[in-house]
Amino acid sequence: MNFDKELNARGLSCPLPIVKTKKSLADMTSGQVLKVIATDCGAVKDMQAFADQTGNTLMSTAEENGEYIFFMKKK
């Protein structure tokens, strides 16, 4: 999937993946896609909840080799 920016949140625990996702999105423009890579399994539900509450779109969630990869489209 194409993306405009990547956030490495590997090794970070709650709430850092969410806080850093929010910060990364702040410098982006509407419609751009942020790729987030996290290792905290709690991030799976948190990223969906973040999207639901902020109006950004979580386009996909995948797990690869113990890492979670998210594509978030900015509102």
Chain residues that interact with another protein, rule: CB under 8 A: 11-16, 18-19, 21-22, 39-40, 50, 53-54
Query: Which of the residues 14, 19, 41, 62 is marked catalytic?
Result: 14
Q: Is 14 one of the catalytic residues?
A: yes
Cβ at position 11, least distance to another protein in Å: 4
Contact by Cβ (8 Å): 70, 35? yes
**Nearer to another protein (CB atom), residue 13 or residue 60:** 13
- Write out the catalytic residue numbers: 14
